[in-house]
């Protein structure tokens, strides 16, 4: 379980494919305090630590995970938003995040808005029912508030605002139009949609 509050920016330093894809990530974390088998969210993807050394962690990424996440994430040199798993008693600064990607969105517009940047993301019909104004969404592991929603022929386009601090401490400092983004919907929205599906017809 995570909160969507990024605590480090890691860099992919090695990609190996002995079976599943092994990804090595350079990090500022004290890796001596991270156990093998621990969970770390990597740009919104919950992964298990399978090897480690001073300031690096290694993860095995399955073909299923790669097929359901932003393709450009799995290449050497890519910067990743990192968050260690939530501990009992930790402050819940964002919202409840599972680290399971529900879909892939594309940045379609960037615009300065006051002191922040309005980012518009386009996503498919599988995401559309779960996005609501003032609701929560996780983009590349970052907990954000949805500020606008527009239904489209392709699905949905929604806007979030990135304040300067968020940009500075995440990979969104170098965000560009056309970039693919991992999307996780609010877990409460997921359950509400399921309950609605199971309601008997009136």
- Flag whether 31 is in a domain: yes
Distance of CA 167 to the CA centre of its chain: 14
Give the per-residue pLDDT at 202. 52
Shared domain for 74 and 135, answered yes or no, is: no
Instruction: List, for the chain, all residue ranges whose pLDDT scores fall below the cut of 70.
Output: 88-94, 189-202
Shared domain for 133 and 78, answered yes or no, is: no
Residue 80 belongs to what domain range? 8-84
Give the whole-angstrom CA distance, residue 43 versus residue 6. 9
**101, 182 in Cβ contact below 8 A?**
yes
- Flag whether 90 is in a domain: no
Shared domain for 61 and 33, answered yes or no, is: yes
Q: Kindly report, residue by residue over 117-173, the tens digit of the pLDDT.
A: 999 999 999 999 999 999 999 999 999 999 999 999 999 999 999 999 999 999 999
Give the per-residue pLDDT at 143. 95
- Flag whether 191 is in a domain: yes
Shared domain for 112 and 186, answered yes or no, is: yes
Shared domain for 146 and 173, answered yes or no, is: yes
Say whether 168 sits in a helix, a strand or coil: helix
Give the whole-angstrom CA distance, residue 125 versus residue 56. 37
Shared domain for 46 and 131, answered yes or no, is: no
Give the per-residue pLDDT at 95. 74
CA contacts within 13 A on the Cβ side of 87: 5
Give the per-residue pLDDT at 90. 65
Give the whole-angstrom CA distance, residue 55 versus residue 27. 5
Give the per-residue pLDDT at 38. 97
Say whether 180 sits in a helix, a strand or coil: strand
- Flag whether 92 is in a domain: no
- Flag whether 91 is in a domain: no
Shared domain for 57 and 134, answered yes or no, is: no
- Flag whether 93 is in a domain: no
Give the whole-angstrom CA distance, residue 85 versus residue 3. 8
CATH number at residue 51: 2.40.30.20
When divided into structural domains, the chain yields a total of 2
- Flag whether 3 is in a domain: no
**70, 175 in Cβ contact below 8 A?**
no
Handedness of CA 51, 57, 58, 60 (dihedral sign): positive
- Flag whether 1 is in a domain: no
H helix runs in the chain, sequence order: 63-67, 164-168, 187-198
Q: What is the mean pLDDT of the chain?
A: 91
Shared domain for 116 and 175, answered yes or no, is: yes
CA angle 10, 144, 57 (to 5 degrees): 20
Shared domain for 178 and 127, answered yes or no, is: yes
Give the per-residue pLDDT at 94. 65
């Amino acid at each position: 379980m995570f909160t969507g509050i990024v605590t480090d920016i890691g860099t992919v330093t090695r990609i190996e494919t002995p079976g599943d894809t092994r990804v090595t990530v350079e990090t500022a974390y004290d890796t001596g305090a991270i156990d093998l088998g621990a969970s770390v969210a990597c740009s919104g993807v919950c992964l298990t630590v399978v090897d480690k050394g001073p300031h690096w962690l290694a993860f095995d990424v399955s073909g299923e995970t790669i097929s359901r996440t932003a393709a450009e994430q799995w290449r050497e040199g890519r910067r990743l938003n990192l968050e260690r798993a939530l501990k009992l008693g930790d402050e819940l600064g964002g919202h409840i995040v599972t680290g399971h990607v529900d879909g892939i969105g594309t940045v379609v517009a960037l615009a300065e808005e006051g002191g922040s940047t309005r980012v518009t993301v386009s996503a498919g019909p599988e995401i559309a029912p779960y996005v609501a104004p003032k609701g929560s969404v996780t983009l590349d592991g970052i907990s954000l508030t949805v500020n606008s929603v527009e239904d489209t022929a392709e699905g949905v386009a929604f806007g979030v605002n990135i304040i300067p601090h968020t940009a500075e401490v995440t990979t969104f400092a170098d965000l560009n139009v056309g970039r693919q983004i991992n999307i996780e919907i609010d877990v409460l929205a997921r359950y509400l949609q399921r309950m609605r599906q199971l309601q008997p017809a009136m």
